[in-house]
Amino acid sequence: MESEGNSEKKLSSSKLKKGSNIIPLTGAAALLTLAVSLAITAINKRRNSKRKDLPGCTFRVNLSASEILKLADRIIAKSKEVHDAVASVPVDKVTYKNVISPLAELEAQQFPLVQSCVVPKLVSTSDKVRKASAEAEKKIDAHICSCSKREDVYCVVKAFAAKGEWMGPEARHYVHCLVKEFERNGLNLTATKREEVQRLKAQIDELSFQYVQNLNDDSTSVLFHENELAGLPAEFLKTLEKAENGMFRVTLKSHHVAAVLELCKIGKTRRLVAMAYGKRCGKANLSVLEDLRQYCLQGDAMEVKAPGFHLVGGRVQARHKFARLLGYSNYAEYALNPRMAKTPSKVLEFLEDISSSLSDLANKELAMLKELKKQDEGELPFGVEDLLYYVKKVEQQEFDLDLGALKQYFPVNLVLSGIFKIFQDLFGLRFEEIADADAWHSDIRMFSVFDLSSGELLGYFYLDMYTREGKYGQTCVVALQNGSVAFNGARQVPLALLISQLQTDIGGIPSLLRFTEVVSLLHEFGHVVQHLCNRASFARFSGLRVDPDFVEIPAKVLENWCYESFSLKLISGFHQDITMPIEDEICKSLKKWRYSFSALKLKQEVLYCLFDQIIHSAENVDIFELFKHLHPKVMLGLPMLEGTNPASCFPRCAIGYEAACYSRIWSEVFAADIFTSKFRDGLLNQHVGMQFRTKVLAPGGAKDPIEILSDFLGREPSIQTFIDNKIECSLWN
């Protein structure tokens, strides 16, 4: 399974005339919904006979535990053989054919084999196979790590890069990435400095793991009498453990905390839970953060400027020291260098612009919440612990939405049919289901995807939709094989797997989806199409192996189809009569609900993103004072809860997203620009859809993301559309 920025996705569509407009649905909407269902059913019935070996596909299914371990050993042996051969090339004899081509083809050939070994741990029904898969993954990961530190291979690749041999732009970018990857592991440093880089990296990894482990192990709880939990449903109270004195024990796990902050009518209870949550692992994790960051710096104190305040420090933080050894000024520079945002100053400017542009709207939202609390609780001051409760209360008053009842309009097969219809019409694709495809469970479905005009096979995807014991518990897309073009011109087609966690049909009643599951499913299908429509020649740039700041943008664009009446009617229908799609008023309410209090919610996220960016950009930051300063500045005067230190329970600062927490907002902002500028007035305009497919999806990681978006939009992407959408769809419009 690929990490963020290293997996692939793809989309589908069918024909419309160039520039055609969409006619709004009228009373015939129900019949259209039925027609969509029947059309997709007809497509699905054109099934191919069972094929063990699919053209252009080398991913292997249903390997036994012993076969997985043997394959892992062969993968490692072949990789070592190729790396040894490349390393043996004299530096004065380097050519594209004897250095670069073998490494590129090794990646393309081995990726589906590696996935054949490691994906079973996510989906296999056999515990023995899952354990073997996890063991194989460790072995392969260790080998890949050792390859990235091979100085002999680096020297040969570097010699080729310096030679200046003519290459196409994608090949040149590939060589640049190879060199950069080696150098981000310290291969361009002296042996002493390289050892220090590896020592620091190992220590940082260990401390990061400890930080998260402390949170996972935390067993703190708060005791309350039943009357102090007024507003919480009886079903929830039944799940709470009772202490010996009969009081209810509320843990600080997220599902308990969220329930209290959203539903409890007692302000004092909300405050106590929020404060306890903010104090979790205070001593332990602040100590870990200090260990992560503090190394002595010999010499004079250093002066660092951050937005809105001034810091002076005399110690270098561990991540900064690591980054400096690699030639960067600070850790944020190191983390952002390979990303679309590029620099900490760009990220800070982006976050400040978003926050300031939404301040007026956020102030209106906050004033409404404060007034509501005044009506309920008198003159008690409004605090951050009140946000979730009063936001939910306003939403219940303003929107006629019963999200539970809404499930009845989203039977899973109809939703899938509608999604297929949208993607086929929009992107000029054709889906065909493969009957009796070789798979790991009887629920699995497999599809071929073709270009609608030419009939060219673009790739395949699996659907593993339903929950079962031992299966990976999140919804995601996993690249099983990346598209690529071999040295001899042969093309390897992409293969993707969509994993979801839907409930199976019960007693003849079809599986019904919550609206959030519908959005998630359409988002992940966006990734499937992104994977399959990528036309990069190198496997390294194929599918989802794109800039991590860019990888979510296409799927975020496609989420918008869940909030437009026309497309919502295509993916909905009452489960007992699918000719009855969702009503227009509900469609409008869903769109309003999407944007309700979005400025305040976003400001909370910006707060943490700024905190993350500053501590990884500036030296010797007092973490507590920094957060205390930022909180009222961003949150319109609302102070940080007394005695809390959110930095001690903010895992993204420690592992996985350090200096990159901004990326989710970044994706959402540019996705809004794309949808509003290009798609909103023509949801199935295939001319625009094909431009998106060829200009945005096809290049993959082979082209700079800003160039990709600018080429599609006809200008550089902007934050203004995102801001305008928030204001336009707010409660005051």
Q: Is the dihedral of CA 387, 388, 390, 392 positive or negative?
A: positive
CB 140, CB 456: distance < 8 Å: no
Could you count the other beta carbons within 10 Å of the beta carbon of residue 644?
22
User: What would you report as the CA-atom Rg of the chain, rounded to the nearest whole angstrom?
Assistant: 27
Query: Is 552 marked active-site?
Result: no
Q: How far is CA 281 from CA 31, 436, 636, 652, in A?
A: 57, 51, 27, 15
What amino acid is encoded at 569 in this protein? K
- Among 2, 105, 170, 524, the active-site one is 524
* Residue 23 buriedness (CB in 10 A; 0-12 / 13-18 / 19+): exposed
C-alpha span between 524 and 529 (Å, rounded): 9
Residue with tokens 């609900």: 593
C-alpha span between 524 and 556 (Å, rounded): 9
C-alpha span between 169 and 10 (Å, rounded): 24
Q: Is the dihedral of CA 109, 113, 118, 123 positive or negative?
A: positive
Q: How far is CA 159 from CA 45, 86, 185, in A?
A: 55, 12, 18
Residues paired with residue 481 on neighbouring β-strands, in sequence order? 495
Secondary structure, 3-state, 7-57? CCCECCECCCCCCCCCCCCCCCHHHHHHHHHHHHHHHHHCCECCCCCCCCC
Encoding tokens for residue 33? Answer: 């919904």
Q: Is the dihedral of CA 344, 350, 351, 356 positive or negative?
A: positive
What amino acid is encoded at 455 in this protein? G
C-alpha span between 178 and 173 (Å, rounded): 9
Residue with tokens 């400017």: 349
- What is the DSSP code string of 122-159? HH-S-HHHHHHHHHHHHHHHHHHHHHTT-HHHHHHHHH
Could you count the other beta carbons within 10 Å of the beta carbon of residue 329?
14
Would you please indicate which residues are annotated as catalytic (active-site) residues?
Answer: 524
